[in-house]
Structure 1
Amino acid sequence: MVQKLPRRKVLTGIGVAGALGVAGCLDAQGNGDGNGGNGGNGNDTGNGNGNDTDDGNGGAEIDYSGTVRYGVLMPETGDLGSLGGPIRDGALLVESQLSGSLEFDVQTGDTETQPSAGQSAAQNLVDAGMPAVVGPAASNVNMQVTRSAFIPNQVVGISPASTSPAVTDLEDDGYIFRTCPSDALQGPVMSDVVMNQMEGSSTATLYLNDDYGQALESSYASAFEEAGGEVTNQVSFEAEQSTYSSQLGDALSGEPDVLMVVGFPQSGITLFRDYYSDYASDWDGQVIVPDGLIDDTLPGEVGNDMEDVWGTAPSSAGPGADFFADRYEEEFGSEPGVFNGQAYDAAAVITLATVAVGGDEADGTAIRDAIPEVANPEGTEYGPSELADAAAAVAGGEEINYVGASSPVDFDENGDVVSASYDVMRYQGGGLEVQDTIDYEAE
């Protein structure tokens, strides 16, 4: 996958949740993407909801007598615990939205951000008869879970957050998908930001010693060197240690312009406390982090506004982003964050594929085969605000193309999405603000 000439859209002044989840929320009257009778499926409701409702159910009658079954496997605790709960909620939103039109059996599991716990929780979902699972999130957990539980049992896995390039090359017989882009893209994105927006010509890396950290660090460092930059030091660290002062010292010893840090929030709290206590005042540089450290609660936990820290993360900038953000906030009382839209899209695709199969025949293999049929062109486009209408159409044998909250959700032969948008952010004023959005597409 390579970068095409990016279309950049400056989004300064937007807060983290609005930036990560959407390009902007619906107004109180629901004047969003559907536009009622002007292209949506609604009856003058302004959001394609139909039947004068505002919940996206559309009043559609779905000719499907079976049960939609899927698991949601997320890190509700552990190093990614602060991000995992909201990602889980994104996947649960589909059931809430369509519960009046379809029967659901949705079960959740906690990976604890650990491969062993993830394998145990995944096997519980498999044993409970879940033919498909939204998750896991962390790449080191995802790689273990897919190999031990999903692939051998012919269960579909769609991760909204596992970005390791290694997922692309899994020998998975087509059962493993993801709605987030590969870090084969994010590494070059970060390199571009460092060179062209942060004006750095040298960099050091400090990265979590797992599948996620190793792969993203390698992608970033390679892209940086290929662009003519200098990589001074490359230092790994283990998760959830009591201090990271020595690793920070090793990484910064070459006096780089920019330090790139890959990790998760729990480790990040300790790491950045050490950084601001021991190094920040004596080093005239800046820091950049990827999606794993995009958490608007981090400055408060660290005790510093972190205004020298930039970040990148896959954006939820799909055609249905506005509706999704509005619905998510209504349901959970907070704006969506990183990978929440990707989780919603994963659950939506599983739901539509299940309905497409029909009856009680929706096992993992049938869902696997139906996913490209409901998610990829050709067919009539339906977004999150028309999800019930999409299910009704597919139940009636119509060809559809689901376009999602996070992206158009078109999968390639490896189960990867073929296009992605990245938000470029800075920690400012105790939170996150988007500076730019960059669009990338597969060649």
Structure 2
Amino acid sequence: MTQTGHKALLGASAVVLTMVAGAASAQSCTTKIGAVLPTSVDWGRPIAETAQFVVEQVNAAGGVAGCEVEMVLRDSQVDPKVGVDAAKALVDLDGVQVLLGAVSSGVSMPILTSVTVPSKVMQMSCCSSSTAFTQLAAEQKTDGLWFRTFATTGVQAAVGAKVAADEGYGSVAVLYKNDDWGQDLANLIVSDLEALGIEVTASVAINDGQPSYRAEVTSALAGNPDALYLGLYPNEGTAAVREWLSLGGTQNMIMANSLKSEEFRDNVGLQYLGSAIGTDTASPRVDSAAAFVEMYKEKFGSEPSGPGLANSYDATMIALLAMEAAGKDATGPEIAAQVARVTDPEGTPVTADGEGFAKAREILGQGGSVMYQGATGNVRFDANGDVSAPAVLWSFAEEGVEERSYISLDEVDAFIASLK
């Protein structure tokens, strides 16, 4: 798509959005979609706002199956118990058949196993990466109800190991969050580092809510590593890194995307993060991804620089497209069965906006299928509900986050293959 095309698309989207009140008033029913997202943390709010933006666009384009969409949002607080309670309320009280969430794998997993699968509700996550979901799906324990638009932890671990090798680090210590996501990431990064001949001097779990992490940091420091790998979230990450630096630890740090947070940067201090390199999955360099960036800037007045924003957009839009394809009053399994139809590589291409949704509705209504071209490209789910993705390296700057380099999907896949 040309720049002119982008502008035209934005203009069309703006016109559609101005029609939201009229479109909503014409709809005589409401359909609910649930969301369990961490709105109480700074990096979680934009993820929820992006999902709500999709709902607004779809409602402006006529809603889903003739009904206005209401996204019922509950805060997970990045806490498994809170997340499960929130999901139960959405399923039992609000009667949702589709649940967006959660962000942390440690929250998404208990929701999946104790709420959505038993209740036969489709779950679509923007930001859960643990390979434990792949295993669960492969064992046919997700009943085809689980999808995620975020690549597995294996991508971030491999890219983190690549950073260590490229920077010439001979030894690395690992600090990881003691939950499903962190344990998975730690196991993978240790394996990948060792495959490259890099010594892992220590791999230390960090638990939430401790008054001090001095013991854990001291253990990680014992081997005097060249660098520190951080698989943590901002709260415990801030406390652990402060301890690390105060005890003389190196400023050579490799960070998972969970630390792509201005809160973390500001609380640690940018002056201590000059040698820190972050990793993240990325959208491919395609027109639909570029169009999303422009649309996001138009809506929110800033770049979509936080973690999971493009993934949140696609997770929400694909879920709503599947609901449209399944029809009014469809059940979770019926909606899940339509995901392949709205992400069909042989289907008619549709754009990631209200105009694209309206076009998809027409095609689906005629019995056709569509190829959703989204913020993360042409999304493809495998048999386990997984996607693959390119990657980026990033660093902190005075005004947010700066991209250092882009690693294509072919390069990512080739590097992962070389580790094996």
TM-score bracket for the superposition, by shorter chain length: 0.7 to 0.9
- Which residue, 177, 202, 216 being the options, matches 1:233? 202
Match for residue 44 of structure 2? 84
TM-score normalised over the length of structure 2 = 0.87
Contact 1:206 1:261 in 2 (8 A): yes
How far residue 109 of structure 1 moved from its aligned partner, in angstroms, is: 1.0
Give the Cα separation in 2 of the matches to 1:391 and 1:252. 57
Give the Cα separation in 2 of the matches to 1:428 and 1:48. 29
1:364 to 1:65, Cα distance in 2 relative to 1, 3 A: farther
- Which residue, 238, 255, 258 being the options, matches 2:224? 255
Give the Cα separation in 2 of the matches to 1:356 and 1:190. 39
**1:173 and 2:133 correspond:** no
Q: Match for 1:295: what amino acid?
A: S
Give the Cα separation in 1 of the matches to 2:383 and 2:184. 21
Secondary structure class of the residue paired with 2:340: helix
How far residue 50 of structure 1 moved from its aligned partner, in angstroms, is: 4.6
1:332 to 1:48, Cα distance in 2 relative to 1, 3 A: closer
Match for residue 393 of structure 1? 363
Map of 1:112-261 to 2, 5 A cutoff?
Answer: 112-127=77-92, 128-170=94-136, 171-196=141-166, 198-261=167-230
Structure 1 or 2: larger helix share? 2
The C-alpha deviation readout for 1:98-140, integer Å capped at 9, x for no partner, is: 2222121211111111111111100111121111111011111
Match for residue 104 of structure 1? 69
How far residue 64 of structure 1 moved from its aligned partner, in angstroms, is: 9.8
Secondary structure class of the residue paired with 1:133: strand
**1:369 and 2:337 correspond:** yes
1:57 to 1:174, Cα distance in 2 relative to 1, 3 A: farther
Give the Cα separation in 2 of the matches to 1:407 and 1:395. 24
**1:347 and 2:310 correspond:** no
The C-alpha deviation readout for 1:310-366, integer Å capped at 9, x for no partner, is: 110122346422332233333334432210111110110111111111233x21011
Give the Cα separation in 2 of the matches to 1:131 and 1:33. 38
1:319 to 1:183, Cα distance in 2 relative to 1, 3 A: farther
Map of 1:14-29 to 2, 5 A cutoff?
Answer: none
The C-alpha deviation readout for 1:240-284, integer Å capped at 9, x for no partner, is: 32222332221122121211011101112212222333324xx4x
Contact 1:190 1:312 in 2 (8 A): yes
Moved more, 404-413 or 321-330: 321-330
Give the Cα separation in 2 of the matches to 1:180 and 1:95. 20
Match for residue 346 of structure 2? 378
Q: Hey, which bits of structure 1, 4+ residues long, moved more than 6 A?
A: 63-66
Give the Cα separation in 2 of the matches to 1:70 and 1:106. 5
How far residue 185 of structure 1 moved from its aligned partner, in angstroms, is: 2.0
**1:310 and 2:277 correspond:** yes
Give the Cα separation in 1 of the matches to 2:18 and 2:407. 29
Give the Cα separation in 1 of the matches to 2:277 and 2:38. 24
Give the Cα separation in 1 of the matches to 2:13 and 2:212. 57
Q: Match for 1:324: what amino acid?
A: F
Secondary structure class of the residue paired with 1:90: helix
1:350 to 1:66, Cα distance in 2 relative to 1, 3 A: farther
Secondary structure class of the residue paired with 2:107: helix
How far residue 371 of structure 1 moved from its aligned partner, in angstroms, is: 0.4
Secondary structure class of the residue paired with 1:236: strand
- Which residue, 240, 248, 261 being the options, matches 1:295? 261
The C-alpha deviation readout for 1:222-253, integer Å capped at 9, x for no partner, is: 01111222111111111232222332221122
How far residue 397 of structure 1 moved from its aligned partner, in angstroms, is: 2.5
Secondary structure class of the residue paired with 1:137: coil
How far residue 389 of structure 1 moved from its aligned partner, in angstroms, is: 2.0
Map of 1:399-438 to 2, 5 A cutoff?
Answer: 399-417=369-387, 419-429=388-398, 431-438=400-407
Secondary structure class of the residue paired with 2:87: helix
Give the Cα separation in 1 of the matches to 2:322 and 2:216. 47
1:56 to 1:255, Cα distance in 2 relative to 1, 3 A: farther
Contact 1:47 1:54 in 2 (8 A): no
Give the Cα separation in 2 of the matches to 1:187 and 1:139. 15
Give the Cα separation in 2 of the matches to 1:333 and 1:48. 14
Higher relative contact order (CA 8 A, sep 6+): 1
1:132 to 1:424, Cα distance in 2 relative to 1, 3 A: same
1:221 to 1:48, Cα distance in 2 relative to 1, 3 A: same
Q: Match for 2:283: what amino acid?
A: S
TM-score normalised over the length of structure 1 = 0.82
Give the Cα separation in 2 of the matches to 1:430 and 1:201. 32
Percent of aligned pairs sharing the same letter: 31
Unpaired runs of at least 5, structure 1 = 1-31
Secondary structure class of the residue paired with 1:427: strand
